[in-house]
C-alpha cells in the first residue's frame, strides 16, 4: 500500500532536483559568458584588424628592463587586467605592438618572466613625458 504523504515528499524532492539542475545549467552558462568576457586572448584576436585606427600607429619603444636582484612576481591575471584597461582607453594597437615586441601575438604565449617588463611598458602607454 502506497503512502500518499511519502509520494508527495518524493514528488517535491524530484521537482526540487529538476529546478536545481536548471539553475546549475544557467550558472554554468553565465560562468562561460563571464570567462569569455574577461579572457584577454579572446578580446582582441591577433588576426582581426583594428577598427578604430585608420592610420598606421607606430608602437612605442619598449623600455629596457632594469635588472633587479629579486624581480617582483607578476601574475598573468594582473598583466591581463592592465592590458584590458589600456585597451579600453584606446591603446589596442600599441598593446599589439608591445606583445609582438615581446615575441608573441597573445599574452598567453609570452614567457611569464617577461611580465614585469611588459607591465612596465604597457603602464607607460598614454603617459605624457
Task: Decide if 129 is inside a domain.
Answer: no
pTM over 0.75? The answer is no
How many of the other CB atoms lie within 10 Å of CB of 114? 17
Provide the grid cell at 106.
597573445
Task: Decide if 108 is inside a domain.
Answer: yes
Task: Decide if 56 is inside a domain.
Answer: yes
Task: Decide if 128 is inside a domain.
Answer: no
- Inter-CA distances, 3 with 14, 46, 91, Å: 17, 65, 69
Continuous segment of H or E residues that includes residue 7: helix 4-38
Looking at every residue in the chain, the average pLDDT score rounds to 76
Domain range for 103 is: 46-123
Task: Decide if 111 is inside a domain.
Answer: yes
Same domain, 29 and 67: no
Same domain, 65 and 88: yes
- Number of domains observed in the structure of the chain: 2
Q: Look at residue 52 in the predicted model and tell me its pLDDT.
A: 56
Give the residue from 113, 118, 120 showing the smallest Cα distance to 71.
Answer: 113
Q: Look at residue 129 in the predicted model and tell me its pLDDT.
A: 46
pLDDT in tens, 17-65: 778 788 777 877 777 676 666 665 555 545 555 555 556 667 777 777 6
Same domain, 55 and 32: no
Q: Look at residue 101 in the predicted model and tell me its pLDDT.
A: 92
Task: Decide if 71 is inside a domain.
Answer: yes
Q: Summarize the confidence of residues 64-81 as an average pLDDT.
A: 73
pLDDT in tens, 75-86: 888 888 888 888
Amino acid at each position: 500500500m502506497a503512502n500518499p504523504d511519502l509520494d508527495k515528499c518524493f514528488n517535491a524532492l524530484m521537482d526540487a532536483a529538476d529546478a536545481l539542475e536548471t539553475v546549475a545549467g544557467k550558472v554554468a552558462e553565465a560562468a562561460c559568458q563571464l570567462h569569455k568576457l574577461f579572457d584577454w586572448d579572446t578580446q582582441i584576436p591577433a588576426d582581426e584588424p583594428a577598427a578604430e585606427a585608420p592610420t598606421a600607429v607606430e608602437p612605442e619603444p619598449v623600455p629596457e628592463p632594469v635588472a633587479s636582484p629579486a624581480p617582483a612576481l607578476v601574475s598573468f591575471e594582473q598583466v591581463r587586467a592592465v592590458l584590458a584597461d589600456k585597451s579600453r582607453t584606446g591603446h589596442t594597437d600599441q598593446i599589439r605592438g608591445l606583445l609582438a615586441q615581446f615575441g608573441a601575438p597573445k599574452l598567453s604565449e609570452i614567457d611569464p618572466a617577461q611580465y614585469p617588463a611588459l607591465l612596465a611598458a604597457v603602464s607607460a602607454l598614454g603617459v605624457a613625458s
